Structure 1
Amino acid sequence: MTHPTPASEFGTLLGEAPVMAILRGYGTERTLELSRVAWSVGITCIEVPLQSQRDAETLAAVAEAAAAEGCVVGAGTILDVNAVSFARSLGAAFTVSPGFDPEVARASLDAGMPHLPGVATATEVHHARRFGLGWLKAFPASDLGAAWITALRAPFPDVRFVATGGISATNAQDFLYAGASAVAVGSALSDTAQLNLLGVLSRRKSGV
């Protein structure tokens, strides 16, 4: 059984910014600080990886703050069905996984949360697409290279890729030019020089 996830769902979450922030392991106070930085430059979609009780507290706090800003936060590194329901209880609006697991994807979609699984091969893209997922995470993007996006967009023109892993302000544009619909960044948010460039990217319409 497939669960169609229209491309517009993640397009709506991203808004007009083809940039998503991943805030891993910073703790609640610093994550809230970086979230506000992201929101201030137009990045409206944030992922908080959920791997510990500390992360759970952070996710809940950021989800509450995001709601007040009209933004969204999702839970990353979701590896099993139990984590899906836990993420939902903390206020997550979507889930992200490092790989494609149909059971996790189904649980997330059934809970009303768009799901973004990681893919690194044509086979994984094919299976995720057949399942009904329109947005996929190209991971690890820096190892795959921007040319991977171009190559996979040829046989799968309807799939939208979020380039994730090793993305910074210096290579983000390469992946967007190659055909990625968005890029996901982490530590670049704490670098003023990179943040300024990401701000420019985030104000560019994604075209999704």
Structure 2
Amino acid sequence: MSADLVAELTAARVLAIIRGTDADAAAAAGKALLAEGVRLVEVSLTTPGALGAIEAIRLDAPDGTLVGAGTVLSVSDVADVAAAGAQFVVTPAVVESIPEAARRGLPVAAGALTPTEAHTAVRMGASAVKLFPASLGGPAYLKALRDPFPHIPFVAVGGIGLDRMHAYFEAGAIAVGLGGPLVGDAASGGSLDNLRTRVRACLAALRQGPA
């Protein structure tokens, strides 16, 4: 049975985006993220050995967490990530992987920027829309986009720092996707201790609410 991605995103509020240069480091980063309390991680297929990293993270993933694949573009990508055990799919754009993942029962957060793209993504089977790059228009753009589409669950991704999360929540995002500001260089062999420190700061900021 497929995960209820929208419910999980709404509860977790943060999707960690792992994009690096080393499969083992990416897997270690994913395991550290989940161990520290992050509930959803996405491994981008631009990471060398991403499929192996997804498999490795899934093996140690705590109950109640989800491991997904990002930058999933093609029908063959969907087959590959499904075989690796990905529990959801993320795309950077409105692409052919959306209906294929939906057909397989893999929930999709589909990348979109414009109203037309957001509407099309949902019609193609996306469970949620990844507003990307969110920083281009900021929270005000997200709020304007939600006015005609109140039923679309938006996840804001791209150029969002820890200090801007709550602005996007207030504009209507169900969650934010955090890559560099959260993961840093850990997926390329950087410090896991520094990663853990950033995760703790992020989760503390979520609990505390807007400043």
| TM superposition score normalised by structure 2 | 0.82
Compared CA separation, residues 18 and 204, structure 1 to 2 (3 A): farther
The residue aligned with 2:119 is 126
Matched, 1:54 2:58: no
Structure 2 unaligned spans of 5+? 185-193
Are the structure 2 counterparts of residues 117 and 72 from structure 1 closer, same or farther at C-alpha, using a change threshold of 3 Å? same
Kindly report structure 1 stretches of 4+ aligned residues shifted beyond 6 Å: none
Shift of 1:132: 4.2
2:4 is paired with a residue whose SS is helix
Deviations 1:127-165 (A, max 9, x none): 223334341000011112111110011000001111111
Q: Which runs of 5+ in 1 are unaligned?
A: 1-7
Provide the C-alpha distance between the structure 1 equivalents of 2:69 and 2:37, rounded to a whole number of angstroms: 20
Answering whether residue 112 of structure 2 is matched by residue 93 of structure 1, we say no
Q: TM-score, normalised by structure 1?
A: 0.83
Is the 1:45–1:71 contact (alpha carbons within 8 Å) kept by the matching residues of 2? Answer: yes
Partner SS state of residue 163, structure 2: coil
Partner of 2:37: 42
Contact 1:78 1:96 in 2 (8 A): yes
Superimposed CA distance per residue, residues 96-120 of structure 1 (whole angstroms, 9 cap, x where no aligned partner): 111012x311110111200111110
Given that 1:16 and 1:202 are in contact with CA atoms closer than 8 Å, whether structure 2 keeps it comes out as no
The alpha-carbon deviation at position 11 of structure 1 amounts to: 2.6
Alignment: residue pair count: 197
RMSD of aligned alpha carbons: 2.5
Give CA deviations for 1:3-47 in whole Å, capped at 9, x if unaligned.
xxxxx9213433721000001015233323332332244321110
Greater Cα shift, 173-182 or 10-19: 10-19
How high is the sequence identity, in percent, across the aligned residues?
33
